[in-house]
Chains A and B, each alone.
Chain A
Amino acid sequence: MQLTNNETRRASIRRRAVLAAAATVLTSFAAFPTLGLAADSGRPLVVARDMDLNSLDPARAFCDTCQIYLSSVYDRLVDLSPDNKSIVPMLAKEWSASDDSTVITFKLDPNAKFSDGSQVEAKDVKWTLERLKNIKGGIAYILDNVQSIETPDEATVVVTLTAPNSEFVGSLTAPYAGIINSDVVAEQGGNAGADAATTDTAEQWLLANSAGAGPFVLESYSPSQELRLKRNENYWGKKPAVAEFIFLQSKDAVSQTQLLESGSADIAMQVDPTTAKNITNEDIIVETQPSPNMVYIALSPGAKNLAHPLDAKVREAIASAIDYDGIIDLTVDGKAIRLPAPIPVGFPGGGVGEPIKYDVEKAKALMAEAGAADGFKLDATFPNVNQYGVDYTLMMQKIQQDLAEINIELELAPVEFSVWREKVNGDGIPMTAVFFAPDYYGSSQYAQYFAMMDGTVWYKRAGGAADPALANPETPKMLADALAAPSDKSAELFEKLAAVMANDHIILPILSPEAVFAFRKGISGLRFSACCNMVLADIKAE
């Protein structure tokens, strides 16, 4: 467009040069057909994304991009419907649980085929789940109370649990529970035995190949560059509309926006609302959808070198002194909601009650009661990430100003994620900021990650080993009861558990952001799934 405008303004003598330049530009675009605009629906869609992939092996991967990849390539026994609540059949056509929900029987769909055309059999399910459990990757805890997996016939899988768990079937919607073609992967070094963590050598092969029964297959993967998925032409279910997806590594919101505006990318999900406001191209649409993701602050009373103990009163004071609405406005332009407890809205027991109020006077009073009216210094090391549109350095500077009101001087230290992980699991960090995305619909994952009871990640990080008084003795029983109860009753029990977790003031939920989809006009079907992030199979392009 600009070329034509310029052309009319220029003298005729220069016209030829301009035309030549235009021709060169057009030719060079034509040389990259995958990146230019085309009307053919068969063309690949390019997703600009900062890829946090740590592996492409379902048993080892654990990240947001992993959720998208695995759920597109490996079908699971069950899926989460678009309402983000109901569990619907996938490879398992039906399932039933014993009365005490300890024995669950899955019947496999006879039509289910892997991408190489072979039948999905019960032995594949058993092999996959045992491998997931024994490799002990990030998500293996969902199988912790599996006692045995039996395969009475080729199409039946019987899972026996050590304790009732009404959320067990739901947890199998997690992308990491995607069923693997056991014959193929076993040949490539795959192993599901008790010693799989050390003897399984299939990861390398799974970085270049896929062996699932999902709507897409892996075409190629170049770490830190791109990930290509192509349609599984043997897919046993409804074939996806888009033939190929290319994930292009793009670090931040600004570069993703520029790729979108220049037509080099079609979809971006990590464009924060502030940057999105600057998009001028009318062909780019920005949509937001509620998400179950969470950004939170965590306090660790057990961290080393505390200037003043982070006792219950001080923790409540800190929780009351944070200007949550101010942070939501600053970081994501108001495109987020607050959470009363570390369980997202819409999940069992989540979103009930009022979030803690921003009340500086109350916070000051609490500090005085705790004998800390004069304040103290507090180390706040945090990962220097931009997650779900929230710039952590920005958020922490705002919290630093908020806490200065109650005389707490935060010493901010943004660090690389790996450095952060080492410190938080080592000496502990008095105050830090993190994020959490669910892997399935269910609240037990929040209790098992955040609650102050033996065995959870944050009980350990908060210093539970040194100070067992942090633990609430009721919590393990509350969780067991919630999982044993029928689903209508279980939400109520999770609600009580959520209230206990909120009252600890160890995990302070700051916000639950809306998921952002920035995309080219003509693309539809983008949705955020509570298990699987973006669902590629549902995306259509004109």
Chain B
Amino acid sequence: MSIVVGARAHWMKNLTLRPALVAGLLIVGFWIVVALTIDVWTVYDPLKIVARKLQAPSLQHWLGTDALGRDVMTRTLYGVRYSLSISFVVVVCSVVIGSLVGALAGFFGGWTDSVLMRLVDVTLAFPPVLLAMAVAASLGPGLQNAAIAVIVVWWPVYARLMRGQVLDVISRDHIEAARAGGASSFRLLTKHILPLSWTPTIISATMDFGQVVLLAASLSFIGLGAQPPAPEWGAMISDGASHFYSWWIAFGPGMAILMLGLGFNFIGDALRDILDPREH
């Protein structure tokens, strides 16, 4: 009992002493609040023409208007819904698929390991952006298909991570003891091995949120992700690129991607320092 309390105190101390973590939580928290509440307080409709086209930032339109005359600020704020939801779906699905494959490979070893890990190697051998583009292009443009494409690229990372972790844990004495005690494979894996193998995956997943936001935006930028008129950040930056002289069109979504990516990285970094015992 005292060990747990001690651990928690250590945890809390770490939390308060890390400005990066606080900043990360504030940034991500801000965007989550925006995503959940924007319908209530938005001034403009993100899809409607509300003013003259290509107006520079002003008091009415803080980030100006785009080539159609829509408010860029409103669109940027709405855009977070796409980015957050796609990154959440992609990371969760990738973690589930990847961890499952990695755990099975590590636990059973032998030919199961060989087959599964060769599959992982093949997938990882492709440059991620190219593979995502190929998958998205073959599925057809759309946000859903972009999410599937990113999952296809992303899951092998977790498979490798989980396999390594399982291999590390499986050789420990208490596993041997449980095995000798007659525990089934299923019980061994779920009760004894997996609970000790999660930490690197959680750290990596947190860091990956930012990366996924970026990759999904890239797919939209080249027209394979969100379709017009969706206010997705990558698609908006693509609009901005073709209206190069109206810098404000790409500025809002660009800064938003930067903020969100930074926020997730801060959190991930701090989590690694706190959770990863090898760092202490």
Contact B228 A397 (CB under 8 A): yes
* Interfacial chain B residues near A252, Cβ < 8 Å: 242
B198-229 to A contact mask, C-beta < 8 Å, 1/0: 00000000000000000000000001000111
Residue from B47, B54, B141, B242 having most chain A Cβ neighbours under 10 A = B242
Docked complex: A390-415 residues within 8 A CB-CB of B? 391, 393-394, 396-398, 400-401, 412-415
CB distance from B188 to the nearest CB of A (A): 50
Q: Which of A368-394 contact B (CB under 8 A)?
A: 384, 386, 391, 393-394
Using Cβ atoms and an 8 Å threshold, which residues of chain A touch B178?
Answer: none
Name the B residues within 8 Å of A391 (CB-CB): 67, 242
The answer to whether B11 has its CB under 8 Å from any CB of chain A is: no
Q: Does A484 contact B (CB under 8 A)?
A: no
Q: Does A278 contact B (CB under 8 A)?
A: yes
B242 touches A412 (CB 8 A): no
Query: In angstroms, how far is the closest chain A Cβ from the Cβ of B28?
Result: 31
Q: Which of A253, A386, A397 is the most central at the interface, judged by chain B CB atoms within 10 Å of its CB?
A: A397
Q: Is the CB of A400 within 8 A of B229?
A: yes
Please report the C-alpha to C-alpha distance between residue A384 and residue B69 in the assembled complex, in whole angstroms.
20
CB-defined contacts of A393 to chain B, threshold 8 Å: 228
Cα distance, A503 to B121, chains bound together (Å)? 61
* Distance between A438 CB and nearest chain B CB, rounded to angstroms: 27
Q: Is the CB of A412 within 8 A of B68?
A: no
Chain B min CB distance to A406 (Å): 16
Q: By the criterion CB–CB under 8 Å, are A415 and B141 in contact?
A: yes
- B245 proximity list for chain A (CB < 8 A): 254, 275, 278
Complex contacts, B229 vs chain A, CB 8 Å: 397, 400, 412
Determine the chain B residues whose CB is within 8 A of the CB of A386 once the complex forms: 242
Known: A330-B68, A391-B67. A401 touches B49 (CB 8 A): yes
Instruction: Return chain B residues, CB-CB under 8 Å to A415.
Output: 141
- A400 to B48 alpha-carbon distance, docked (Å): 10
Are A413 and B141 in contact, CB atoms less than 8 angstroms apart? yes
The proximity string for B residues 231-247 relative to A, scoring 1 for CB distances below 8 Å and 0 otherwise, is 00000000001111100
Name the contact of B53 in the complex, choosing from A275, A278, A330 (C-beta under 8 A): A330
In the complex, are the beta carbons of A401 and B48 less than 8 A apart?
yes
Instruction: Establish whether residues A398 and B68, one from each chain, have CB atoms under 8 Å apart when the complex forms.
Output: yes
Total A-B pairs in contact (CB under 8 Å)? 44
Determine if A274 is an interface residue (Cβ-Cβ < 8 Å): yes
In the complex, chain A residues whose CB is within 8 Å of the CB of B241: 254
Residues of A with C-beta under 8 A to B227: 412-414
CA distance A384 to B241 in the complex (A): 15
Interface residues of A in 240-291 (CB under 8 A from B): 252-254, 274-275, 278
The interface residues of chain A, by DSSP majority, are classed as helix
Assembly CA distance A401 to B46 (angstroms): 12
* B223 contacts A394, C-beta separation under 8 Å: no
Contacts of B49 in A (CB 8 A): 398, 401
- A330 CA to B243 CA in the complex, in Å? 13
Q: Identify the closest chain B residue to A416 (Cβ).
A: B223
Q: Collect the chain A residues with CB atoms within 8 Å of residue B141's CB.
A: 413-415
Q: Are A274 and B228 in contact (CB under 8 A)?
A: no
Query: Given B69, B228, B242, which contacts A414 in the complex, CB threshold below 8 Å?
Result: B228
Main SS class of interface, B: loop
* Chain B residues in 8 Å Cβ range of A384: 223
- Report B-chain residues with C-beta under 8 Å of the C-beta of A396: 228
CB neighbours (8 Å) of B48 from chain A are 401
Chain A proximity of B51: nearest CB distance (Å): 12
Shortest CB-to-CB span from B6 to chain A, Å, is 58
Q: Which of B38-56 contact A (CB under 8 A)?
A: 47-49, 53-54
A394 close to B244 (CB less than 8 A): no
CB contact under 8 A between A274 and B243, given known A396-B228, A397-B229: yes
Is the Cβ of A412 less than 8 Å from the Cβ of B228?
yes
Q: In the complex, A461→B135 CA distance in Å?
A: 30
Nearest to A275 among chain B residues (CB) is B245
List, in ascending order, chain B residues with CB within 8 A of A398's CB.
49, 68
In the complex, per-residue mask of B143-182: 1 if CB is within 8 Å of any chain A CB, else 0: 0000000000000000000000000000000000000000
CA distance A90 to B47 in the complex (A): 54
CB of A408 to closest CB in B, whole Å: 15
Q: How far is the CB of B187 from chain A (nearest CB, A)?
A: 50
Instruction: Name A326's closest neighbour in chain B (CB-CB).
Output: B49
B13 to chain A, nearest CB (A): 52
A412-427 with Cβ < 8 A to chain B = 412-415
Which residues of chain A are near B54, meaning CB under 8 Å? 274
- What residues of chain B lie closer than 8 Å to A412, measured between beta carbons? 227-229
Which of A278, A386, A393, A412 counts the most B-chain CB atoms under 10 A from its CB?
A393
Q: Which residues of A contact B223 (CB under 8 A)?
A: 384, 414
Closest to B69 in A: A330
Least Cβ–Cβ distance between A475 and chain B, in angstroms: 36
The distance from the CB of B68 to the nearest CB of chain A, in whole angstroms, is 6
Could you tell me the distance in whole angstroms from the C-beta of B125 to the nearest C-beta in chain A? 27
| A333, closest chain B residue (CB) | B53
Query: Please, how many angstroms separate the alpha-carbon atoms of A290 and B197 in the complex?
Result: 71
Q: Is the CB of A254 within 8 A of B242?
A: yes
**What residues of chain A lie closer than 8 Å to B47, measured between beta carbons?**
401
In the complex, how many angstroms separate the beta carbon of B242 from the nearest chain A beta carbon? Answer: 6
Complex Cα distance A62/B174, Å?
75
Measured between alpha carbons, how far is A397 from B241 in the docked complex, in Å? Answer: 17
Which residues, 134 to 178 on A, are CB-close (under 8 Å) to B?
none
Which chain A residue lies CB-closest to B47? A401
Query: Which residues of B have CB within 8 Å of A394?
Result: 67-68
Distance of A275 Cα from B245 Cα, bound (Å): 7
CB contacts (< 8 Å) of A414 on chain B: these are 141, 223, 227-228
Please measure, in the bound complex, the distance between the C-alpha atom of A391 and the C-alpha atom of B69, giving whole angstroms: 14
A: which residues have CB within 8 A of B? Answer: 252-254, 274-275, 278, 330, 384, 386, 391, 393-394, 396-398, 400-401, 412-415
Across the A-B interface, give the 9 residue pairs with the lowest CB-CB distance, nearest first.
A278-B245, A254-B244, A397-B229, A412-B228, A397-B228, A394-B67, A393-B228, A397-B68, A412-B227
Sample of 16 A–B contacts (CB below 8 Å)? A254-B241, A254-B244, A274-B67, A275-B243, A275-B244, A278-B245, A330-B67, A394-B67, A397-B228, A398-B68, A400-B229, A401-B48, A401-B49, A412-B227, A413-B227, A414-B223
Given contacts A254-B242, A412-B227, 14 further A-B contacts (CB under 8 A): A253-B242, A254-B244, A274-B67, A275-B245, A386-B242, A391-B67, A393-B228, A394-B67, A394-B68, A398-B49, A412-B228, A412-B229, A414-B223, A414-B228
